[in-house]
C-alpha cells in the first residue's frame, strides 16, 4: 500500500492485452498487491474451469446458452470467441467499480480491446510484449497447461495480435520481470494520478488556498 495515497474520484479502466504466455497474469497480480484501489475484472466464459479455478473469482463460468442470452441483452462491455470458447466482460460490473473510485484491470485480447475502444468508455490500453517469439513459445510449453496442438494454435495467432501494437497507449516488454513490474506499475500509477480523475483533490487545494488568502 502506498503511503499518503488518496483514491481517485473515479477509477481508471485499464485494458491489458498480449499473447498467451507473455506474463500478463503475473504482472497484474503483482500490481494488485502493490497498488491500492485496483481490482481485476472477472470475465464470463463458456470454457470449463481449470484445476483450482473458482466461479465468480477467476471467471464467471456460463453455459453457451446463458452467454448468448447476455449478449442479446447487451450486458457485455466486450465479448469475443477465443480458441473455441466465448469470453466477455459484464459492463455494469466494471462501471459500478469505476464509479466507486476503484480502478479495473481488464485482461482481454485485441478484438476485445477494440470493442472497449468502440464502446466509448474511457480506458488506458496497454500491450505486454515478449522479448522475442522463441521465448514466448518456450514459456507456453513450460507452464504445462496446454497440449502441443493448443500451443501451436496459440503461436499461430501471435502475429495477428502483435501487429495491433500500434493501437495501444503503452507497451511494456516482459523480458526482465523486475523491470517489467516497475514499468507496468508506473503506467497504472500515472493514469490514476491524472487530474481528470481527481477533481475533488483539485478543489480541496483551491479551497485551502482561498481560505489562506482570507487570513
Q: Dihedral of CA 205/207/210/215: which sign? A: negative
Q: Span 182-206, mean pLDDT?
A: 93
pLDDT, residue 25, reads 87
Task: Give me the mean pLDDT over the 108-130 stretch.
Answer: 93
pLDDT tens for 39-94 read: 988 889 999 999 999 998 889 999 999 999 999 999 999 998 877 899 899 998 89
- Quote the cell numbers at residue 141: 510449453
DSSP secondary structure letters along 90-134: EHHHHHHHHHTT-EEEEE--HHHHHHHHHHT---EEEEEE-S-HH
Quick one: what percent of the chain has pLDDT higher than 70? 93
Q: 164 or 154: whose pLDDT is higher?
A: 164
Nearest by Cα to 104 from 17, 14, 6, 198: 14
pLDDT exceeds 90 at position 7? no
pLDDT the model gives residue 3:
58
* Per-residue pLDDT band at 186 (split at 50, 70, 90): very high
| pTM of the complete model beyond 0.85 | no
Alpha helices in 22-109 (DSSP H): 24-34, 64-72, 91-99
Range 40-79 burial, b when 16+ CB lie within 10 A, else e: bbbbbbbeeeeeeeeeeeebbbbeeeebeebeeeebbbbb
Please list the helix, strand and coil fractions of the chain in percent, rounded to the nearest 5, in that order: 45, 20, 35
Lowest-pLDDT range, 34-38, 94-98, 164-168? 34-38
Nearest to 115, CA basis, from 87, 96, 73, 153: 87
Does position 162 have pLDDT exceeding 90, yes or no? no
Domain locations in the chain as residue ranges: 13-40+101-209
**CATH architecture designation of domain 13-40+101-209:** 3-Layer(aba) Sandwich (3.40)
CA distance 171 to 147: 29
Mean per-residue pLDDT, 129-134: 82
Most confidently modeled range among 74-78, 141-145, 160-164:
74-78
Report, as an integer, the average pLDDT of 98-106: 94
pLDDT number for residue 159: 80
Q: Residue for cell digits 476503484? A: 102
Look at strands 59-61 and 76-82 and give their pairing. unpaired
Most distant CA atoms of the chain, gap in Å: 74
Amino acid at each position: 500500500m502506498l503511503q499518503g495515497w488518496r483514491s481517485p474520484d473515479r477509477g481508471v479502466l485499464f485494458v491489458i492485452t498480449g499473447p498467451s504466455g507473455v506474463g500478463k497474469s503475473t504482472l497484474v497480480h503483482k500490481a494488485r498487491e502493490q497498488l491500492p484501489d485496483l481490482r481485476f475484472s472477472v470475465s464470463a466464459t463458456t470454457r470449463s474451469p481449470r484445476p483450482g479455478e473458482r466461479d465468480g473469482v477467476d471467471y464467471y463460468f456460463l453455459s453457451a446458452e446463458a452467454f448468448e442470452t447476455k449478449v442479446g441483452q447487451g450486458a457485455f462491455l466486450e465479448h469475443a470467441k477465443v480458441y473455441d470458447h466465448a469470453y466477455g466482460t459484464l459492463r455494469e460490473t466494471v462501471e459500478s467499480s469505476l464509479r466507486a473510485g476503484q480502478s479495473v484491470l481488464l485482461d482481454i485480447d485485441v478484438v476485445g480491446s477494440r470493442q472497449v475502444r468502440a464502446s466509448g468508455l474511457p480506458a488506458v490500453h496497454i500491450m505486454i510484449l515478449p522479448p522475442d517469439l522463441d521465448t514466448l513459445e518456450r514459456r507456453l510449453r513450460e507452464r504445462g497447461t496446454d497440449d502441443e496442438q493448443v500451443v501451436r494454435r496459440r503461436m499461430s495467432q501471435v502475429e495477428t495480435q502483435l501487429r495491433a501494437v500500434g493501437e495501444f497507449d503503452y507497451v511494456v516488454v516482459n523480458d526482465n520481470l523486475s523491470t517489467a513490474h516497475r514499468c507496468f506499475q508506473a503506467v497504472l500509477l500515472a493514469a490514476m494520478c491524472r487530474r481528470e480523475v481527481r477533481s475533488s483533490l483539485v478543489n480541496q487545494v483551491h479551497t485551502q488556498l482561498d481560505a489562506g488568502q482570507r487570513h
